[in-house]
Structure 1
Amino acid sequence: MVRKPLLVLASGLGAVALLASCASGDTTAATEPAGGGETITVEHALGTTEIPADVERVATIGWGNHDVALALGVAPVGVDDQTWSMDGGDGLGLYDWSLEAYEELGAEEPVIFDTADGTDFEAIADSEPDLILAGYSGLTEEEYATLSEIAPVVAYPEVPWYTPWRETIRIDSEGLGKADEGLALIDDLDAQIADAVADEPAIKGKKAAFFFINAADLSTLSVYATGDSRTAFLGDLGFDFPQVAVDAAAEGSFYADISAENIDQLADVDVIVSYGDDSMLEALQADPLWSTLPAVQNGAVVTVGLGDAFSGAVTPTALSIPWMLDDYVALLGDAAAKAE
């Protein structure tokens, strides 16, 4: 999402044309000042950042970091484009759950940084931030150094584009001086997840992963590794993981390509989750090789759209989780029941 190669976003790893509001214009300071009246020190993969007390203007880059701030009462003045497109269509906007949060906070919508050509340093500087959150991003050391000349930067904790949603909340909230509130937010989201899956017993014990499948070319498909936030979130919902997703993570990969000739590698997949629409299952069932998979034979295939808000929401953020949770779990529960 954020206009990265589809197979490298974290898990971001994805993208497509969609409808989302384009936000621009004057900015306002954060709705609620960040910081707790003293300097904050945050350690991350690219160094150690000293953040001054009572930050007022926050910018975010990467995926979903603005949602952490919004969930904690801080409205960023500038945000990376969160809409995504596989066909090169323009986005430059935010998804529904973020826009709703700005409205609820009574804050003006932010400037949207264009990510088509990478980090938009000029627009970020023009937004005059006191702090830049990038807990879930792919910053290079050079980009980090350039941004640090604009404002203190909180980068990802370990691996670029590989930050789990809980860690994104943890490190971003720490940068905002709201570490305790961040932990409480994680607990609340975990409770919502537990409630949502309580009525879907068919999920437990089933193996699922998130895929990228092109229905027009089934010679190869890609499965996202267990460390990717999309597949990882299926684990949060109670699924086990197929071996191919586990192996991809062990090799340090974001995903694994599986050719039709190696279809046996997916024999243990009970539920396939993928971008796409209802035509995906029909295409898989019509294919002489992929139709031999038990998940395809059972119709245990969940498609989440390709460019609309729902397809963006399944790369989980602090605000997209409650926005999509009930609908997503219902779809997954129905598919898991078919696998029995």
Structure 2
Amino acid sequence: MKLHITAVTVAAIASLALAGCSTSDTANDNAATPAAEGSFPVTVDHMYGETTVDALPERVATWGFGTTDAVLALGVVPVAIPSAEYGGGDDLMYPWVSDAIEDLGGQTPVLLDNSAYELPVEQLLATDPDVLMAPHSGLTQAEYDAVTAAGVPVVAPPEELWSTPWRDVITTTGDVLGRADEARDLVADLDRQVTDAGDQHPEFDGRSIAYVSEAADVYYLLLPTDPRVELLENLGFTTPESVTSLSNGESPFSTTVSAENISTIDADVVFTQVDTDQALQEFLNSDVSRQIPAVAKGAVAGFVGQEAGSAIGPTALSIPFFLPTLVDGLADATEVAGS
């Protein structure tokens, strides 16, 4: 799979796959290596109480988004990971995940069926995990209770489902894997990568941007609290008041926008992500979309494909994978905005 980005100018507008092996196959190859700074037991507070991990976990399972990436980035191949129906390709794994597994040389993890966003408890327990890491997930109380009742410690989201910042996913994972210092160094390095990328493009500094998407004639705006918008702001862009003022309180991360209010989105650049080239052209040519001044001008960074849509969510592995493509597309759109 290849990432496809289109920076649009005015002239240019015209089922479960199990991959892996048995429990015995992964017992040694995917074992965690003790880190010098690690000390146990480790206790993690979360929305369902607290979890204590008594010893360095050797068989790590992951659930949700971003945690698999954190575990791999810290040098451990999990025994089980969620399948990636959206953006994962034929093997149901994100390319940056499969690349990391290959680089580490571990056995391919069992893919936990994520098609219904419900944890397959029996499938998970069959992999004999020492811990289930799910700090950024939709893990329910019932799922948590079922896994812990089987004697497997579970690290659940700290406060709310699907709301843990990507940096906290990494540091929490590092604490549980006995690699706290390594995890914090990793976060600092990722932040440096983003800052350096922004420094190489001073034209981003102070430019306003709106993250707009459309589905079934409904328009969505992502707000600065969303990690994807945060990443754009870390590169130097700003979110204009014309975007934040449209928030209706239905979600802390996004808001819907009616057709009659779409023209009030006043940003230098529009960022959007769609699944197909046809969907991008429909967005660009729509009479509604073109009420946004930046769309009418062609100052749009449009990313095409499920892989790109997944990659823009910042994780320990997706940031270095996607950052060069992201920056190139934003640079082209910013050039159009300034013309």
TM range (shorter): 0.7 to 0.9
RMSD: 2.6
Contact 1:81/1:91 (<8 A) preserved: no
Counterpart in the other structure of 1:129: 129
Classify the secondary structure of the residue corresponding to 1:213: strand
Q: Which moved more, 1:70-79 or 1:165-174?
A: 165-174
TM-aligned CA distance change 1:119 to 1:211, over 3 Å: farther
TM-score norm. by structure 2 comes to 0.84
Counterpart in the other structure of 1:326: 324
Work out whether 1:159 is the aligned partner of 2:157.
no
Q: 5+ residue gaps in structure 2?
A: 1-14
1:46 to partner: Cα distance: 2.4
Classify the secondary structure of the residue corresponding to 2:161: coil
CA deviation vs aligned residue, 1:129-165 (integer Å, no higher than 9, x gap): 1011111111122222222224111122222112221
Counterpart in the other structure of 2:85: 83
- Which letter maps to 1:99? S
Contact 1:157/1:171 (<8 A) preserved: no
1:41 to partner: Cα distance: 0.9
Counterpart Cα distance in 1 of 2:26 and 2:248: 41
Classify the secondary structure of the residue corresponding to 2:98: helix
Counterpart in the other structure of 1:261: 260
Classify the secondary structure of the residue corresponding to 2:26: coil
Q: Which has the larger radius of gyration?
A: 2
Classify the secondary structure of the residue corresponding to 2:51: strand
TM-aligned CA distance change 1:47 to 1:229, over 3 Å: same
How many residues are paired up? 315
How does 1:1-340 map onto structure 2 within 5 Å? 23-26=19-22, 27-29=25-27, 30-33=30-33, 36-84=38-86, 93-117=92-116, 118-150=118-150, 151-214=152-215, 217=216, 219-243=217-241, 246=244, 248=247, 252-268=251-267, 270-280=269-279, 282-307=281-306, 309-340=307-338
CA deviation vs aligned residue, 1:266-322 (integer Å, no higher than 9, x gap): 124632222244445543443333213221022122222232x33321112101111
Q: Which moved more, 1:293-302 or 1:179-188?
A: 293-302
1:39 to partner: Cα distance: 0.7
Q: 5+ residue gaps in structure 1?
A: 1-16
Counterpart Cα distance in 2 of 1:81 and 1:162: 20
Contact 1:269/1:295 (<8 A) preserved: yes
TM-aligned CA distance change 1:170 to 1:48, over 3 Å: same
1:67 to partner: Cα distance: 0.9
Counterpart Cα distance in 1 of 2:50 and 2:248: 27
Counterpart Cα distance in 2 of 1:84 and 1:77: 21
Counterpart Cα distance in 1 of 2:92 and 2:317: 16
Classify the secondary structure of the residue corresponding to 2:221: strand
- Which letter maps to 1:328? L
Contact 1:83/1:93 (<8 A) preserved: yes
Counterpart Cα distance in 2 of 1:245 and 1:92: 38
Counterpart Cα distance in 2 of 1:205 and 1:317: 25
Moved over 3 A (4+): 89-92, 242-254, 276-282
Contact 1:165/1:317 (<8 A) preserved: yes
Q: Which moved more, 1:325-334 or 1:239-248?
A: 239-248
Contact 2:280/2:304 (<8 A) preserved: no
TM-score norm. by structure 1 comes to 0.84
CA deviation vs aligned residue, 1:153-208 (integer Å, no higher than 9, x gap): 11222221122211211222222221111100001111111222222222111222
- Which letter maps to 1:25? C
Q: Which moved more, 1:161-170 or 1:182-191?
A: 161-170
TM-aligned CA distance change 1:63 to 1:275, over 3 Å: same
Counterpart Cα distance in 2 of 1:91 and 1:192: 30
Contact 1:81/1:113 (<8 A) preserved: yes
Counterpart Cα distance in 2 of 1:289 and 1:176: 49
TM-aligned CA distance change 1:111 to 1:53, over 3 Å: same
Q: Which moved more, 1:276-285 or 1:107-116?
A: 276-285
1:224 to partner: Cα distance: 2.2
Contact 2:204/2:236 (<8 A) preserved: yes
TM-aligned CA distance change 1:246 to 1:160, over 3 Å: farther
Counterpart in the other structure of 1:4: none
TM-aligned CA distance change 1:95 to 1:249, over 3 Å: farther
Contact 2:263/2:293 (<8 A) preserved: no
